[in-house]
Structure 1
Amino acid sequence: MINLDDYNDQSAPAEWLEYYQEGGYFPIYIGDFFGENERYEILNKAGIGGFSLVWAARDHEENRYVSVKVIKADQSENNKELAVLQRLQQAPSHEGLQHLPQLFDHFYVERCGKKCLFLITELLGPNIHDMFYGISIRPEIRSRSVTKQLLLAIDCLHSNGIVHGDIHEGNILFRLPASYNLPLDIVYKGEVLRNDGAPLEEELPDYVVVPMMEDQTYPLGHDWKDIVLIDFSSTFYVSDSPTHIDAVPNMTPPERIFRKSLSSAVDIWTLGCMTYQFATGSRLLSFFGDSRRLIPAIYEKVGESAADWLLTSLLEAIHEGLWKDECTKWFPKLRQGRLLEDHPRRTQISDHAFQFIRKCLVVDPTKRPAAGELQNEKWVV
């Protein structure tokens, strides 16, 4: 067992050392080789996920750059993401497949008593958040294009009985244009040291690597146009609907708040939230803490059409003893003038965009349109 108090505070914005404890990762270094015949050479770090580290690598067999996603040991067996990617490999032709990851290879590596799954896919660029960070005015044509591609990806998943479950700006990445060169040779490392100067435990790396896309700026040229929806760690199948998923709090669909059975409709709700964010440059809902605080916030944004379903669900939850505390503690006074259409930039956003958002943001999941139906909306046609 690693005693983290024995180690220096990390100054580098990389993964925490606790990730290397039992059930986590084993050390990986720049220049390491993995795969059959040492096919993949680690060049840099591409990102950090909740259950994975993502590395940029060179595929020496195909002479291309790839993404190497290393899953934590305790998440590697019967891995959900691998199952989804393999299912998509067998999926019939669909326009949305080009906006979903393609699995090139996968294998397991065992070191330091940990067996981790390696997923090899296309190396992608920055996510939506990093690309648009600090830009409040976004060209409508770009917002429309991203929404259309995201909708195609969602429709492809749903057509194959798959629900993504965690759509947010960090899981939507741009495909690298041919004209852009990633700074793969610029590696930022943070040394790992014990406070007493003693040697490191075997499980710990000598250094951690800062993701290469951290704090970068990207030229908003027309080449950044194709997106890919990634990360299937919260995915579920339509045939096996849960009542809970891990999701970004401000993207939480109403049915999850009330712990109702979840369906493909959760992706449509988050699509509406993301489209609003693409179009306006601001989040639809912002809150911290108890997800029940979203109930009045949703009513404020969606309006009277949400009242019946929200009230019925609220009374059912109280009657069934879903919550033990008093509702008044987390149900603040409603504020006026906060509907979708009251956004300061409303006049700069087309009616078709708001009509599309409205269609997605139906609080009753049984009445939310399917992804295929939304493809007929003028905003994305």
Structure 2
Amino acid sequence: MATADKIEEQTLLRYPQRQYYPIRLQQRLKDDRYTILAKLGYGAYSTVWLARDERTNMYASVKVFVRDDTTTPQVLNEIQTLKHLAGCSLEHSGSGIARLADDIFQIDGPAGQHYCTASNPQGCNLWDLRLTFPDGRLPKVLVVAAVRCLVGCINWLALDCDLIHTEITSRNVLTAVANDDQFVEIERAEELNPSVPVMDGTYPVYRSREEPATARNITGIVHLNDFGSARSASASYQDWWMPDLYRAPEILMRVPWDFGVETWSIGILILELLEGRNLFYPIDEEHNQYVLPVALAQYISVLGHPPLWMIQESTDPTIPTLFDSQGKTHMSCWICEIPIPAFSLEHFVTAIPPGTEKDKFLDYMRRILVWDGKQRATSSDLFHHEWPQMYESQT
């Protein structure tokens, strides 16, 4: 099949190696409990479908994972994490922000078994929502509302569940909706104009029925989704991790990292939602590659130079070659041929005009945007800082 003819999951880089389940509309899963109504989306490890729970006569979002094997550890990790979360205390208010599974089951496919989860259907993700606003910028009150939800959620995950999410991005945060109107619209649209799949051998590939990305039906509450990259919060790590545009600096430097990466992710997310663009973009688009020296130069432009100890303790032999630490007691000097951009946080932030609020916001962000995760603002700091408190009566 020509590249131009590929759609949805067929366009993904590792699609040929991953075996998706050949689901069909109106198919019933788990002893006829879930009737598949429409496709909502797809990802590297799953397809997502709007379904009707015949037991409750309510809508459900059914996620059907690729076949579980040794090449897809994220699948088993997400299933194990969701099972673990189901057994955690739900007394913390942040527990309602994590998108938990109401049901977990397996179905047999042509090449083996596939895990499935069923959850309450939610609205669009924050990435899609912000694109409906001018310049891709969310209103500040919506950003603060989302931050309050996420801060409570990461607190619950760490304290009551011993987990860190590690992949808090605008695509993994879903909006809560006030009612089922949009799902009724999707079901009706499918009935009036049934989707015809593109056949890839014996595998049917459907186009997604896009959920309308609109602020009309959202509640201000968001839900943290996708736990395939979750880790234990009580451990420390030193491997290469996190999405490219959200990667915490301690991971860049290949020194130990832990829960501090969560607040870093939220900080980067805040800037993306407010400004409609990413603070850091160290991607070689021609080769679709992440470029470490470019990333470090961009981080230095905003954070200043990294502490000397990070260079000395890095497990990446490339790191010391980029810095000259001779004669320096606490800091280092950048000697890479890639220049440090003439760039600052003050210039990046334009959604808030100069004045008292911008000063408070910059102080808020500077507590997050630091090299050392141990020195980074805690979730409590994010919640109680002056800047979000300015919007307390509106959220």
**Same fold per superposition (TM over 0.5):** yes
Partner Cα distance (2:79, 2:240) in 1: 18
Map Cα deviations across residues 264-292 of structure 1 (whole Å, 9 max, x no partner). 11111111101112222221112202133
In the alignment, does 2:208 pair up with 1:211? Answer: yes
Partner of 1:96: 94
Partner Cα distance (2:43, 2:261) in 1: 22
- Paired residues, what number? 356
In the alignment, does 2:92 pair up with 1:86? Answer: no
Is the contact between residue 35 and residue 53 of structure 2 (CA under 8 Å) also seen in structure 1?
yes
Task: Give the 3-state SS of the residue equivalent to 1:192 in structure 2.
Answer: strand
Is the contact between residue 24 and residue 36 of structure 2 (CA under 8 Å) also seen in structure 1?
yes
Partner of 1:363: 371
> Matched residues, percent identical?
19
Partner of 1:277: 272
Partner of 1:11: 5
Q: What displacement does 1:236 show? A: 0.5
Partner Cα distance (1:245, 1:99) in 2: 27
In the alignment, does 2:244 pair up with 1:249? Answer: yes
Q: What displacement does 1:81 show? A: 1.3
Is the contact between residue 131 and residue 217 of structure 1 (CA under 8 Å) also seen in structure 2?
no
Task: Give the 3-state SS of the residue equivalent to 1:169 in structure 2.
Answer: coil
In the alignment, does 2:38 pair up with 1:44? Answer: yes
Map Cα deviations across residues 358-377 of structure 1 (whole Å, 9 max, x no partner). 22212101111322343222
C-alpha distance 130-377 of structure 1, shift in aligned 2 (>3 A): same
Instruction: Single out whichever of 220-229 and 283-292 deviates more from structure 2.
Output: 220-229
C-alpha distance 59-300 of structure 1, shift in aligned 2 (>3 A): same
Partner Cα distance (2:276, 2:11) in 1: 35
Partner of 2:59: 65
Q: Which among 217, 227, 230 is matched to residue 222 of structure 2?
A: 227
Q: CA RMSD in A?
A: 2.8
The correspondence of residues 74-153 of structure 1 with structure 2, limited to 5 A, is 74=69, 75=72, 79-92=76-89, 93-133=91-131, 135-136=134-135, 137-153=137-153
Is the contact between residue 74 and residue 229 of structure 2 (CA under 8 Å) also seen in structure 1?
no
Structure 1: runs of 5+ lacking an equivalent: 1-6, 194-199
C-alpha distance 82-380 of structure 1, shift in aligned 2 (>3 A): farther
Instruction: Single out whichever of 334-343 and 102-111 deviates more from structure 2.
Output: 334-343
Q: What displacement does 1:84 show? A: 1.8
Task: Give the 3-state SS of the residue equivalent to 1:359 in structure 2.
Answer: helix
Is the contact between residue 26 and residue 114 of structure 1 (CA under 8 Å) also seen in structure 2?
no
Partner Cα distance (1:293, 1:105) in 2: 44
In the alignment, does 2:54 pair up with 1:55? Answer: no
C-alpha distance 77-129 of structure 1, shift in aligned 2 (>3 A): closer
Specify the code of the residue in structure 1 equivalent to 2:94. G
Specify the code of the residue in structure 2 equivalent to 1:298. Y
Is the contact between residue 49 and residue 63 of structure 2 (CA under 8 Å) also seen in structure 1?
yes
Q: Which among 345, 353, 360 is matched to residue 361 of structure 2?
A: 353
In the alignment, does 2:356 pair up with 1:372? Answer: no
Task: Give the 3-state SS of the residue equivalent to 2:218 in structure 1.
Answer: coil
Instruction: Single out whichever of 78-87 and 13-22 deviates more from structure 2.
Output: 13-22
Q: What displacement does 1:111 show? A: 1.9
Q: What displacement does 1:295 show? A: 1.3
Partner of 1:31: 26
Is the contact between residue 249 and residue 291 of structure 1 (CA under 8 Å) also seen in structure 2?
no
Partner of 2:299: 298
Partner of 1:196: none
C-alpha distance 63-344 of structure 1, shift in aligned 2 (>3 A): same
Query: TM-score, normalization: structure 1?
Result: 0.84
Q: What displacement does 1:315 show? A: 4.9
Greater RCO, 1 or 2 (C-alpha within 8 Å, sep 6+): 1
Partner Cα distance (1:11, 1:222) in 2: 35
Partner Cα distance (2:320, 2:375) in 1: 30
Q: What displacement does 1:130 show? A: 0.7
Is the contact between residue 311 and residue 319 of structure 2 (CA under 8 Å) also seen in structure 1?
no
Partner Cα distance (1:138, 1:130) in 2: 11
Map Cα deviations across residues 286-328 of structure 1 (whole Å, 9 max, x no partner). 22021332212112123xxx4242x4423544xx662299649
Instruction: Single out whichever of 270-279 and 69-78 deviates more from structure 2.
Output: 69-78
Specify the code of the residue in structure 1 equivalent to 2:206. V
Task: Give the 3-state SS of the residue equivalent to 1:228 in structure 2.
Answer: strand
Q: What displacement does 1:221 show? A: 2.8
Partner Cα distance (1:150, 1:89) in 2: 19
Structure 2: runs of 5+ lacking an equivalent: 284-289, 323-333, 390-395
C-alpha distance 343-374 of structure 1, shift in aligned 2 (>3 A): closer
Partner of 1:4: none
